[in-house]
């Protein structure tokens, strides 16, 4: 028997019964009752804005799966480019498919010289790399006259490969510019993660990417590749629903990610730990959070109310990295903060647990990334998720241009008053 829900409009006595499928019912039921009736749902707390077959997330059980495969198995056995293929194409690649995909991505890592010499050079010397990254992604689209051919499957696939391949190059370029260092060209002989680290940190001919660190980078990229309908992905879908090109839509998604409540949280975590400064200050800091004087950054999640499976994997990856780089001095403060918060009634009652950003910043710092690069590091792999959602949206016959309704709470009609009479 199908589950159903029956809604009665008490004003008219009219009733409508609709099926519940997978815990969801169509809001079209409301329009059947009264076409001028809308649900008020700020921040989409109870609204599914799309049907999606990309990522499954069960916040209560701490489950995250890409195309059905648990994140733990992917982090353990796969590579970022293989995961990117899985997300974008829907299936794991065969050996030949993987080789071709890796070759395609590797051969699109270069960016036009004008991007570096004229576009990036125009920024102020201390520009935030994420601000540079967002604008560089939007600008990149202007270099391809086929960027707007989003309904041509081959053309869209080409833009996807270009974006996946070029985001690390752009990210590294922004960093090198901010440091006043010469740009390092992509190296086709290196893996995705190795190439990125090489473009970031190579100084002189002797630089060799440490394989443990390259692996950690790859795992971090896998963990951040997609996270269903979060703020950035929603921005990607909303902008894509207007049929904007993938570069513009990716820039919009990256802009959402920049916010401190979203991808900017890892940066905020390190700043918070630095400010706490010593484990003896942890209890006072936790009290100040409970008194409403700020948030415990890296804690809490809209969906995960038990634990964030990414946080568990990242904590382990952090120790692998620290074996090579030595311990991040902020780690002790983080561990103490985690211990105090997890035993405190305030956090227990609100189901606040460490999220992916609580430890990722510490790894990034140990790898040598400056704090203001952290959100850029999140944006590189998430570009894969964003583009996957864009493709899904464009193929979804039920989707139209996004256009939510509002609950108007302003003035009724009133006359204009000339300035002299106000
Ligand atoms: N520190 C202290 N209190 C918190 C925190 C926190 N980090 N997060 C939530 N709360 C409190 C909040 O004040 C509220 O308390 P009350 O019921 O007394 O008003 C209660 O917990 C419920 O919080 P909420 O604001 O309704 O939760 P939300 O689902 O709207 O927000 C969140 C989720 C992630 C924005 C929020 O937990 C937060 O701001 N965390 C810190 C920032 C952070 O770490 N963000 C990274 C998220 S993971 C990366 C990603 O996927 O983007």
The Cα 1–Cα 23 span in angstroms is 15
**302 CA distance to ligand 1 centroid (A)?**
7
* Count, residues in the chain: 422
For ligand 1, mutation pick of 300, 350, 355 (most atoms within 8 Å of CB): 300
Q: How far apart are the first and last CA of the chain?
A: 65
3-state secondary structure of 209: coil
Q: Give the pLDDT confidence of 327-386 residue by residue, as tens digits.
A: 888 999 999 999 999 999 999 999 998 888 888 988 999 999 999 999 999 999 999 999
Structure token digits, residue 119: 């576009």
| Helix ranges restricted to H, 191-264 | 192-201, 211-224, 231-241, 246-257
> What is the Cα–Cα distance from 163 to 149, expressed in whole angstroms?
15
252-285 pLDDT tens trace: 999 999 998 888 888 889 999 999 999 999 999 9
**Residue owning tokens 């629903």:** 241
Q: Which of these, 140, 196, 164, lies nearest to 373 by C-alpha position? A: 196
| Coil, strand or helix at 229 | coil
Model confidence band, residue 49 (pLDDT cutoffs 50, 70, 90): very high
Q: How far apart are CA 361 and CA 371, in angstroms?
A: 8
% of the chain with per-residue pLDDT over 70: 100
At the fourth CATH level, the homologous superfamily of domain 265-367 is Cytochrome P450-Terp, domain 2 (1.10.230.10)
Q: Among 3.30.428.10, 2.30.38.10, 1.10.580.10, 3.40.50.720, name the CATH number for the domain at 70-241+373-394.
A: 1.10.580.10
What is residue 21's DSSP assignment? B
Ligand 1: residues with CB < 6 A are: 227, 230, 261-263, 265, 289, 295-302, 350, 352, 355-357
Assess contact for 399 and 50: CB atoms under 8 A.
yes
How many angstroms separate the CA atoms of 271 and 207, rounded? 29
411 tagged catalytic: no
**CB-based contact 121:183 (threshold 8 Å):** no
Query: Regarding predicted confidence, which is higher, 260 or 211?
Result: 211
pLDDT at 152 over 90: yes
Sole residue written with tokens 């590294």:
172
Closest CA to 258 of 172, 358, 367, 374: 374
pLDDT at 311: 87
**Residue ranges per structural domain of the chain:** 4-58, 70-241+373-394, 265-367
Question: Which of these is catalytic: 226, 245, 357, 372?
Answer: 357
Q: What is the pLDDT of residue 264?
A: 82
Torsion-angle region of 127 (φ positive above 0: left; ψ -120 to 50: alpha; else: beta): beta
Query: Is 112 designated active site?
Result: no
Q: Which two tokens stand for residue 378?
A: 């999140």
The pTM assigned to this predicted structure is 0.92
């Amino acid at each position: 028997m199908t589950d159903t829900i029956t809604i009665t409009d008490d004003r008219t006595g009219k009733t409508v019964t609709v099926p519940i499928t997978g815990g969801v019912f169509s809001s079209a039921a409301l329009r059947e009752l009264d076409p001028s009736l809308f649900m008020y749902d700020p921040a989409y707390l109870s609204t599914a804005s799309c049907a999606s077959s990309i990522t499954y997330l069960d916040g209560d059980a701490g489950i995250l799966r890409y195309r059905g495969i648990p994140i733990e198995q992917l982090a353990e056995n796969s590579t970022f480019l293989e995961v990117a293929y899985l997300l974008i194409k829907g299936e794991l690649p065969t050996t030949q498919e993987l080789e071709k995909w890796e070759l395609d991505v590797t051969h699109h890592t270069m960016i036009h010289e004008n991007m570096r010499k004229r576009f990036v050079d125009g920024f102020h010397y201390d520009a935030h790399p994420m601000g540079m990254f967002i604008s560089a992604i939007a600008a990149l689209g202007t270099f391809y006259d086929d960027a707007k051919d989003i309904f041509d499957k081959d053309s869209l696939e080409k833009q996807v490969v270009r974006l996946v391949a070029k985001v690390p190059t752009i990210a590294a370029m922004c960093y090198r510019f901010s440091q006043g260092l010469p740009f390092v060209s992509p190296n086709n002989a290196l893996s995705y993660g190795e190439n990125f680290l090489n473009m970031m940190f190579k100084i002189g001919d002797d630089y060799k990417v440490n394989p443990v660190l390259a692996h950690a980078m790859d795992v971090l990229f896998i963990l951040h590749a997609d996270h269903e309908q979060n703020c950035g992905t929603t921005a990607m879908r909303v902008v894509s629903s207007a049929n904007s090109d993938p570069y513009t839509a990716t820039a919009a998604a990256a802009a959402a990610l920049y916010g401190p409540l979203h991808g900017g949280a890892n940066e905020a975590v390190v700043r918070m730990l630095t400010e706490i400064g010593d484990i003896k200050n942890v209890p006072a800091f936790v009290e100040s959070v409970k008194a409403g004087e700020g948030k415990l950054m890296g804690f809490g999640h809209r969906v995960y109310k038990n634990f964030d499976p990414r946080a568990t994997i990242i904590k382990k990856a952090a120790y692998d990295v620290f074996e090579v780089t030595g311990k991040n001095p902020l780690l002790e403060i983080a561990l103490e903060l985690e211990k105090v918060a997890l035993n405190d009634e305030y956090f227990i009652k609100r189901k606040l647990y460490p999220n992916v950003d609580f430890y990722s910043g510490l790894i990034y710092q140990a790898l040598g990334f400056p704090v203001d690069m952290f959100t850029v590091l999140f944006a590189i792999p998430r570009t894969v998720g964003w583009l996957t959602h864009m493709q899904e949206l464009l193929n979804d016959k039920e989707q139209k241009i996004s256009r939510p309704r509002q609950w108007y709470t302003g003035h009724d009609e009133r006359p204009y008053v000339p300035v002299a009479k106000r």
